[in-house]
Amino acid sequence: MSQVLVTGFGAYGNTPANPAQHTAEALDGRVIAGAAVTARIVPNVFFESITATQQAIADIRPEVVISNSFAGAVR
């Protein structure tokens, strides 16, 4: 079965919950179009997020990586 890794940033600053985290968590464990989805929440710190994502790729060995984030309120 194909593997898909979805990452989402965790909380940051005064934001107690990051929508990207909720999206990743909602997809974790699902099978979509024959692909198993595994989610990882990565720290909202630049180099730490890279390291965490690289480790998740090494652990899961996905065919596809989807990294999502949240950029603030839309007006």
Cα(21)–Cα(30) distance, integer angstroms: 16
Cα(41)–Cα(26) distance, integer angstroms: 12
For 38-48, the pLDDT digits (tens) are: 999 999 888 99
For 56-66, the pLDDT digits (tens) are: 999 999 999 99
Residues facing residue 3 across a β-bridge = 36
Give yes or no for residue 72 having a pLDDT over 80: no
| Average model confidence (pLDDT) across the chain | 92
For 19-39, the pLDDT digits (tens) are: 999 999 999 999 999 999 999
How wide is the angle at C-alpha 17 spanned by C-alphas 50 and 22, nearest 5°?
A: 75
Q: Where are the domains of the chain?
A: 2-68
Portion of the chain with pLDDT greater than 70, in percent: 95
